[in-house]
Amino acid sequence: MTDQQHNDVIDGSTVDSIAVYVCTHKRNGPLERMLDSLQEAANHVQPAVRIAVVVVDDNPDGRAKAVVDGFSHQFVGGLHYRFSGAQNISLARNAGLEAAMGLADWVAMTDDDQVVIPEWFDHLIATQQATNADAVTGPVILRYDDNKPGWVDSQPFEEIMIAPIQPDQIKVEVCSTGNSMMRASFLREHPEIRFRPDLGRLGGEDMVFYRAAVSAGLHARYSAQAIAYGEQPPERATYRYHLRTSYWLGNTEYLTNIESGDASPRRLALRASRRLVGAVSRPLLRLVRRQEPQWRFTGALAAQSMGMLVGVAGVKVEHT
């Protein structure tokens, strides 16, 4: 974005103030990197747009307070600390919502293990201005260090691990709590739409929240250039982690669809069964086409399918 385009976006924008909340749990180092990236992004739009940041500490020992107290920020709206400590992401998210709603006209969300690009606010604001959306969301792209195993890049695990990138400004039904902003007025007008505590240790609370909001009339759009990077530590570059996460994501997909009323258990069982058959046959078809069989990705697909099937059986898998 050129300087003139940037000025046009800011001058004509309906976004005058944004409060970003970040929930954190056992990640002081990554939290510092996230705050650094938010500061750089804020410098792109302040003082025309007033940026505030809220850190919600979900550590029982309150360890994130040291990061907040020691961070030399230049957020016009301030850097604010809230303690949750329940180790329940829904309760922490709700605390972040309530704090951010009182600080700005727009509430933005991101995660403590991510960093946003310097133009993050610019692109969110530009998409909102172009579409008059009530909410804007962008992509979260996973990023590993240089020592990662080769199969991490050579096999398409992102098809399971992250939402696919959408066309710019397209209307969407679900936003990412790792990369989105929404009108604070919508949240005030719909106090019943909050993150469900019963899903706070299982997962899927984000999907259920945004689907409920869209059902209540939230107009959400996609900003393809408003990128947040999910910084993956070495322990996430293991096959065991990918299998476990794929299994949990399958289970979460089942719970989310059931809670949102989007599909019946029978329909989800059929979906999972078809996926399992597809996973088993996939490497054989690839070998016939003289392609790499991608056995690890096949295992992850099978794990995802099994996560859905155990959901049909009543099993709820907690997030690790």
Q: Is 32 exposed, middle or buried (0-12, 13-18, 19+ CB in 10 A)?
A: middle
Digit-coded pLDDT (tens) for 161-211? 999 999 999 999 999 999 999 999 999 999 999 999 999 999 999 999 999
| pLDDT of 10 higher than 90 | no
| pLDDT of 48 higher than 90 | yes
Q: Are 223 and 136 in contact (CB under 8 A)?
A: yes
Q: What pLDDT shows up at residue 320? A: 67
Query: Nearest CA to 205 among 235, 226, 174, 236?
Result: 174
Q: Are 61 and 28 in contact (CB under 8 A)?
A: no
208 phi/psi in degrees, rounded to 5: -65, -40
CA within 13 Å, CB half, 121: 31
Q: Looking at 10-24, 78-92, 136-150, 263-277, which range is the least confident one?
A: 10-24
Query: Nearest CA to 164 among 180, 140, 137?
Result: 140
CA within 13 Å, CB half, 239: 12
- CATH topology for 3-235 is Spore Coat Polysaccharide Biosynthesis Protein SpsA; Chain A (3.90.550)
Q: What pLDDT shows up at residue 230? A: 97
Beta strand pairing call for 179-183 and 106-111: antiparallel
Distance CA 106, CA 128 (A): 11
Average pLDDT (124-128) is 98
**Cβ neighbours, 10 Å, residue 76:** 15
Q: What pLDDT shows up at residue 319? A: 84
The pTM for the full model equals: 0.91
| pLDDT of 9 higher than 60 | no
Q: Which residues contact 247 (CB under 8 A, 6 or more apart)?
A: 303, 304, 306, 307, 317
Can you state the percent helix, strand and coil of the chain, rounding each to 5?
Answer: 50, 15, 35
| pLDDT of 54 higher than 60 | yes
Q: Is 172 exposed, middle or buried (0-12, 13-18, 19+ CB in 10 A)?
A: buried
Query: Nearest CA to 75 among 137, 17, 28?
Result: 17
3-state secondary structure of 193: coil
Q: Where are the domains of the chain?
A: 3-235, 239-312
**Cβ neighbours, 10 Å, residue 131:** 17
Digit-coded pLDDT (tens) for 215-228? 999 999 999 999 99
